[in-house]
Amino acid sequence: MLPTAAQWAAAERRSERTAQAWFAGAPVARLRAAFADIDPQDVDAVAEAARAVLHDADWITPLLAPLIDALSDDPWFEPPLRVTRDRLRTTVELLELPAGVLGATVFNGAALARPSAETTLVSSGRLVVARYAVTNGALLHRWHAGDADARFCAATAPTLTALPPLTLHDGDVVTIDGRTRAHLIEGAGGEVVALTFATRTTGLVREYARESGRLLRVAATDQDQSRTRLLLTLLRHEGRRDAIDCFEAATHAPAFHLRWAAMREWLALDATSALPRLRSLAATDPHPEVSAVACATLPLVEARLCPA
One-letter-per-residue 3-state SS of 189-249: CCCEEEEEEEECCCCEEEEEECCCCCEEEEEECCHHHHHHHHHHHHHHHCCCHHHHHHHHH
Nearest to 236 by CA among 210, 259, 268: 268
| Alpha carbon distance 177, 91 (integer Å) | 19
| Alpha carbon distance 55, 43 (integer Å) | 18
The confidence score (pLDDT) of residue 151 equals 53
pLDDT band at 308; cut points 50, 70, 90: low
Side chain identity, residue 281: L
62-75 average pLDDT score: 91
255-275 average pLDDT score: 92
The confidence score (pLDDT) of residue 288 equals 86
Torsion sign (Cα): 259, 264, 270, 272: positive
The confidence score (pLDDT) of residue 17 equals 92
Bridge partner residues of 131 (DSSP): 173, 195
164-183 average pLDDT score: 92
Residue 111 pLDDT greater than 80, yes or no:
yes
Residue 154 pLDDT greater than 70, yes or no:
no
pLDDT band at 59; cut points 50, 70, 90: very high
DSSP for 79-93? -S-EEEE-SSEEEEE
pLDDT band at 122; cut points 50, 70, 90: confident
pLDDT digits (tens, 9 = 90+) for 207-220: 888 888 888 887 77
Give me the chain's average pLDDT, please. 88
pLDDT digits (tens, 9 = 90+) for 236-259: 999 999 999 999 999 999 888 889
Phi, psi dihedrals of residue 31, rounded to the nearest 5°: -65, -40
Residue 263 pLDDT greater than 90, yes or no:
yes
Would you mind telling me the total number of residues written for the chain in this entry?
308
Buried b (16+ CB within 10 A) or exposed e, 39-74: eeeebebbbebbbebbeeeebbeebbebbeebeeee
Residue 115 pLDDT greater than 80, yes or no:
no
| Alpha carbon distance 297, 217 (integer Å) | 20
| Alpha carbon distance 72, 139 (integer Å) | 33
191-199 average pLDDT score: 94
pTM over 0.85: no
107-134 average pLDDT score: 85
Residue 153 pLDDT greater than 90, yes or no:
no
Segment among 51-60, 63-72, 104-113 with least mean pLDDT: 104-113
149-165 average pLDDT score: 70
